[in-house]
Structures are given as structure tokens and as C-alpha cells.
Structure 1
Amino acid sequence: MTAIPGVARLHVVEGISMLRPHAAVFDKTLKGFEDHQRARHLSSGTIKGRTRIARQVQAFSDGYPWEPAWNHAMFDRWSAMLADQVATSTLRGYQSDLSLYLTYLSDPAYEWPQVCMETFGMFAGFALRDLNAVRHAQEYIGQPSGNRPLSRPEIKKLFGQMDPEIKRLRAAGHKGALAAARDLAMLTTMYAWGLRRRETARLETHDWRRQAKLPEFGDYAGLAVRWGKAAGPGMPPKRRMVISVWPWAVQTVRLYMEHIRPLFYADRPDDGVMFPTERDEMISERAVNQRFQHWRELAELPDCLGPHCLRHTYVTRLIEAGYDGQFVTEQVGHSHAATTAIYTALSSDFKNLKVREFLDAAEEAQLAAAFARADAEADMDDDFSDQTADELVGTGQTRRT
């Protein structure tokens, strides 16, 4: 029975010499890894990102995966270099991408170890479980100072200074007035519907929906989010329907759609983009960051705050308003309520209110118990008095008034 050759045998054909064999075999391992990832139906962006990490490590080590240069010390140096440049979650993602490539490369079923031994006389694979990688010990590993809800005074400062600035730009005939008015609607949408940057940037006008039980919101009673965060690497975006909850936000979006957005299409056909730019294109995620930064600086808010904080603020405000936890989880598209809890940072006023409600309830319960005891004692006194009177009558004695 003829054995079926592994993937490596399909890329490195025995008896055919290669120009610069080390670089050639490395490229072929990456080609096989790409096919391996594509077979799992992962997106091209995810696959390119993972192969890019492998190429970066090869350049950093100045060696190849089958050589002694790829060892634990090199992995630690590479990770330490990145630790000062990227966030913890990003570093963990890079380490995971590299581990996936090494897992594929070390799998005997693909025959890369055998081919490397035959071609170069070495294969210095090491145990992936022993890599000194970032531990995923908890759900949240972001930056505590940045990814937090904005306080009510901060929200007031952020949005409160936008309308006067728009009026100032308009009065001065500044071309930035139109973009500023768009920014007001865009940041309002992020805050009032709890959206991420990509979800906001890729919105289109047809994503707004009517809801039969919310006629007062008209065409803006619901928002179909089509570009939600995927459930896993390479998977398609998750979709969800976000129900409108704040009338003031609906009014802001309605005014933008009726009076501001049409100005972007005065000289061109309407392409349905919710937040277009003056260059006739959809606003980018990077531009969302830049526009938030612009308004954050004008409001003199901390530099650590980013647009994602508006999503955190949305979750917190819904919880404070008394909305059911499961409703909030579905609104923001989380798979688990525990993830939603990470976004929540209840204000001191809300906490004080809850404590006050608890103390008032406890006091009322104590008063009710005291009144119940008093009533019971009064009933006992009445029974005792009646019984005593009967006894006195029976012995011929009378009670004085």
C-alpha cells in the first residue's frame, strides 16, 4: 500500500535543488500554513496577520524555525521587545499566532520535521507548552485607566462643547463645520447605541429599523449592527439588533439624517453611508479615533480616554437605569453576562442611592416589626385584662375605675 505524502512533500520535491534553500523552505512552510488556516475557513486578514508574525520572528532571530536560533531565549527576547511597544492583549495575540504556526510546523502529519532533517540535517523544535507566554488568567486584560465609562460630568463636557463649537465654525464659514456636525451625530450614535468603532464606521442608512412597539421613535427605533466583533479569529462578523432607548439620541440622529447628512451628497449620488467624509468615502476606524481625540482635547478630558469608553458608558447607564442584565448583554452583543459586567462601573450616586434604598427598606422592616410586636403585646394586655376582670367578678370583687 502506497503511503500518502504529507504537505511538505508536495512543496519540497525530492531531487530538485533550490536556490537559497533555507529561505525557499521557510516560504513553503508559510504557504502550507496559509492553506492549513484557509481550510478552517479563516479570513484572509487573519491568515496574513499570522504569517506576518512568523516572518517578523524570522527576521528578529536571523535564523529559521528548524535551526537552534529559534529557542526559548529568542522567544523571551522577542516578547520582551514587544512588551514595551504593544498592549498586553496584543502581545498575547502575537504569541498565540506564533504558537499556531509552530504547532503546524512540528506536526509529524505534515512531514516538515522529516523534510527539514533530510534537507538541513536539523529540526530544533521545542515544546510549545513551555513557552514563557502571557497568561490569560482573567477575562479583562486591557488598560484600566483607559477603558472605563465616562462620568456624568465628563459626558457633559464632551458633548456640551460640541454644539457651540459647531455654531462657531459655521459662523466663521469654516469648512470643518460640516464634519463637526457629523461628529456630533457619530459620537452620539456610539454612546446611545453602545457601538464599537468598526460597527460605527461601517453603518449605512438602511441599518435603521422601525419597531412596532416603539412608534414614537419612528424609523430609528432599532439599529441593525452588521459588523460586530467576530466570535473567534477568522470568523464572520456577528450581527445584532440594538433597540433605541433614549429619545434625545433618536432626535439627534433624525436631525442629522434630515439636515446634515444630505449636504455631503450635494454634488454626488447618495451611496447610503451613514457617516461619510468630505472626500466621498466611508469614515475609517482610524478617523473615528482621531475625531474623538479632537473633541476630547477640546473638552480637556484625560488623554487615556478613547472612543470605546462611550460603549462602556452606555452599559453603565443602562444598568443604573434599572434595565435587565440580559437585555443589556444582548444590546451590546456579548455572549456572556460576565463580559458585560466588565464594562460596568456604577457611579457613586447610583451606589449611594442603592445603599439608601437598602437602609430605608431595612428601617421600614424594623418599624413594621416593632409595630407588630406592639400590636401583639396590646392584644395580650387586652386578653389579660379581660381574664382578670372575669376572675374578680367570680370572687365577688369589683375593679375600680
Structure 2
Amino acid sequence: MVPGVSMLRPAEAVFEKTLQGFADHQRARRLTKDTVRQRLRMARQVQGVADGYPWEPVWNRGLFDRWSAMLADSVATSTMRKYQNDLALYLAYLSDPAYEWPQVCQGLFGRFNSFALRDLNAVRHAQEYIGKPSGNRPLAREEIKRLFGSMEPEIRRLRAEGHKGALTAARDLALLTTLYGWGLRRREAARLETHDWRRQAKLPEFGDLAALAVRWGKPSAGQPPRRRMVISVWPWAVQTVQVYLENVRPLFYVDREDDGVMFPTERDEMISERAVNQRFQHWRELAGLPDHLGPHCLRHTYVTRLIESGYDGQFVTDQVGHSHSATTAIYTAVSSDFKNLKVREHLDAAEEAALQRAFAMAETEAEMDDDFSDHASGEPAGRRRRVR
């Protein structure tokens, strides 16, 4: 604040200055503009609910409860916790004497709240996963068949009618196959480029599509996107993407130069994450799948299918780019058929071992009987066995 200069609306000006300072504080940690913008929005929202400013008594625990209750029915538990954490970060910044806002507010307004952040009535994070139980579940095998099985007939119908949506539909088939066949997130798939595909000397049968370099993985706070190499696993997925690259994608570049985007749109741009959601919703409705399913379900399905196919847990964790195997375990939901198969294998193995032990014991007892009979007759045991 500039000394000696009177402000027309001091309360509003100070509040805006605190938000500007908080934004600089967050940007210094290399947080993205979207993250900073979201946190500023939370502070403005609470200010609107309170109809007052943070240094005024109206900013109390009752206000936080009222604001949280207002959001409770419209957002997920994980989202609610994030919003509350965003507000707590702003209040922590505002209360830090190093940034001098307590002194400024005391000097201008004669008061400043002492925020007890640890006492705020917030959502507890008592377990690893707090999302919706059915929001990101793996798809059953029958659901996968319905999803992809409904796409090819629709593509053929659109082509037969000369509909311009046939090209987009063919691209969607490759897009959803990539999400499922390589276990990608929406952002990772949307920002793929053709040069991200790699050859692997150990997998010559997959040609140029033996591996996929993911450059836009989910980052840690304040860090650049994580990178990882995903090895191709399913031959059918490689074949679908190969057909797309050779026959479908070039049609997007008939009248313009190829920019290398893996999944372009008819508007000559890269497909957005929102568009990925919309296209999945379109095919989900066509297949008659539940409304709560989203494209991230394909990533969960990928993890589950790898586990069911017998791949090592660490390999699966590396494939999907998780830092800890416990996170991968959240994605895994093996089917009842797989569980029944494993139980059957265990029972069969136990039964086989029991039979082998019984046969071994019977053979040992038979040998002991032979030895006893030989001893009783006075004939050497070795000679009697040779006669037998």
C-alpha cells in the first residue's frame, strides 16, 4: 500500500491487493495459472457469501460451515476438500506476519481476525481414495464389448450415408482404443503427437507402435508434467491405431499441412479434454452404458485387465505412471470370473499336491510291506524285488 495516499474504497482495495499478493505467492511455487485462478475464486466466493472482508468478525467458523453446506450437495467429497484447502491456503497467507497484512488491516481498519485454521470444520482425509465409488470403476467385459461393438456399425452407417461425422467417428474409435489399450488419462491422450510412438527391438511384431512416450502425465504440485514410456501390450489395439494412422488420420490433412497432432479435429486443432468427455458420452449413450461412467473408466479397466492377465504389479504401476503401488491398487477391481479361476487353480493345485503325497505314502508303505515279507521268508529283499 502506498503511504500517504487515501483510497476511495479502502476495504475493497485492500481485499484485491491481498488476492494479488496471494496469486504472486502461489505463482512463486510454480503453480499453474488455472490452479491459482481457482484458489482466488474460492476466496472471492466466500467474500460474497459473507458480504464482508477477511479482517471483519463475519469471517468466523459459522461462515465456513455455511459456505461448505452450500456446496455440499453439488460437488463431490474430494472436490469439497480441495475447495476447503484452497481457502485455508489463502487464510494462512493472509495471517502470516511476514506479508504484513495483519499490520495493514490493524492500521487501516483497527481490527484483524486471528484465524485458527486447524479448527475449521473441514472434510477429513482419512483414507487414500475419497472419490465416488462408481464414478471411475473398471468396465465389465460385456460393457467393453458393447462400447466398442457399437462403434464400428455406426461408422459404417455414417459412411454409407455420406455423413461428415464418419471421419470423426473413425477418429473416436482410435481415441478410445488408445485410452483403453495404453491406460492413458484424457489429457495424456488429447495431447499426443504422432512422433510419440516408438519402436522396440524386443517387440518387432508391433513395428513403429511398440511403445508410447507420454509427455503430458499428471504432474506434482509446482512441477512440470511427468513423462513415462508405456509399452504396447494388446495386439488388437496396435492394429486399430495402425489402421487409423494409415487410412483415417490423413483425411484430416487433405487441405492443410500435417502438424503431427495424433487426434485432430475438423476445425484444424488438437482435440481438447472437454471434447474427449463429450465424445465418450456420445458413444456411452449409444452403447446404453450407465450415465455415471466417464473416459477415465477405460484407464481403470486397463489396469484391471493387466492384473487379470498375470502381469507383475510393478510393471503395471510403471505402465500407468503411478508413484506408489498402493495407488495402482485403487484402480484394480478384478472380475468375479478371474477370482473364481484363481480359487479353482489354488484348489486344483492343493488337490494335486494331496494326491502326490498320498501316492508317495502308499508307495512307501508298499516298500515297507515288501521288506517285512522278505524278512519273514528269509529271502533277501533286493532279490525278491528283482524276481517281482
TM-score class, shorter: over 0.9
One of 239, 264, 271 as aligned partner of 2:259: 271
The superposition leaves residues 227-260 of structure 1 with CA deviations (integer Å, 9 ceiling, x where unpaired) of: 111122x321111111000111111101101110
C-alpha displacement of 1:390? 3.3
- Alignment partners' CA distance in 2, 1:238 and 1:79: 33
Alignment of 1:147-226 (within 5 A): 147-226=136-215
C-alpha displacement of 1:223? 0.6
Residues 43 and 235, structure 1, Cα contact 8 Å, conserved in 2: no
Per the alignment, in what secondary structure is the counterpart of residue 378 of structure 2?
A: helix
Counterpart in the other structure of 2:76: 87
- Alignment partners' CA distance in 2, 1:374 and 1:365: 14
One of 118, 129, 136 as aligned partner of 2:118: 129
Amino acid at match of 1:235: Q
Tell me the TM-score normalized by structure 1. Answer: 0.92
- Alignment partners' CA distance in 1, 2:240 and 2:165: 19
Please state if 1:360 is matched with 2:338: no
Aligned residues: CA RMSD: 1.2
One of 277, 284, 299 as aligned partner of 2:272: 284
Please state if 1:72 is matched with 2:61: yes
The superposition leaves residues 252-302 of structure 1 with CA deviations (integer Å, 9 ceiling, x where unpaired) of: 101101110011111111111111111111111111111111111111111
- Alignment partners' CA distance in 2, 1:25 and 1:108: 16
C-alpha displacement of 1:88? 1.2
Amino acid at match of 1:300: G
Alignment of 1:224-373 (within 5 A): 224-232=213-221, 234-373=222-361
C-alpha displacement of 1:388? 2.4
The superposition leaves residues 96-129 of structure 1 with CA deviations (integer Å, 9 ceiling, x where unpaired) of: 1111111111112222112111111111132100
Per the alignment, in what secondary structure is the counterpart of residue 353 of structure 1?
A: helix
Counterpart in the other structure of 1:399: none
Please state if 1:102 is matched with 2:91: yes
One of 19, 35, 38 as aligned partner of 2:24: 35
Tell me the TM-score normalized by structure 2. Answer: 0.95
Deviates more, 1:173-182 or 1:102-111: 102-111
- Alignment partners' CA distance in 1, 2:295 and 2:225: 20
- Alignment partners' CA distance in 2, 1:23 and 1:235: 34
- Alignment partners' CA distance in 2, 1:104 and 1:116: 14
Residues 65 and 125, structure 1, Cα contact 8 Å, conserved in 2: no
C-alpha displacement of 1:169? 0.4
C-alpha displacement of 1:15? 2.7
- Alignment partners' CA distance in 2, 1:388 and 1:105: 100
Please state if 1:377 is matched with 2:365: yes
Q: How many residues align?
A: 379
Amino acid at match of 1:45: D
C-alpha displacement of 1:389? 2.6
- Alignment partners' CA distance in 2, 1:219 and 1:241: 14
The superposition leaves residues 30-81 of structure 1 with CA deviations (integer Å, 9 ceiling, x where unpaired) of: 1111221122222222222211211111112111111111111110111111
Deviates more, 1:163-172 or 1:223-232: 223-232
Per the alignment, in what secondary structure is the counterpart of residue 198 of structure 1?
A: helix
Counterpart in the other structure of 1:7: none
- Alignment partners' CA distance in 2, 1:25 and 1:248: 61
Amino acid at match of 1:150: L
Per the alignment, in what secondary structure is the counterpart of residue 34 of structure 2?
A: helix
Amino acid at match of 1:266: V
Q: Percent identity?
A: 79
- Alignment partners' CA distance in 1, 2:49 and 2:273: 30
- Alignment partners' CA distance in 2, 1:169 and 1:175: 8
Per the alignment, in what secondary structure is the counterpart of residue 145 of structure 1?
A: coil
C-alpha displacement of 1:362? 0.5
C-alpha displacement of 1:134? 1.0
- Alignment partners' CA distance in 2, 1:139 and 1:344: 14
Per the alignment, in what secondary structure is the counterpart of residue 158 of structure 1?
A: helix
Per the alignment, in what secondary structure is the counterpart of residue 125 of structure 1?
A: coil
Structure 1 unmatched runs, 5+: 1-11, 392-401
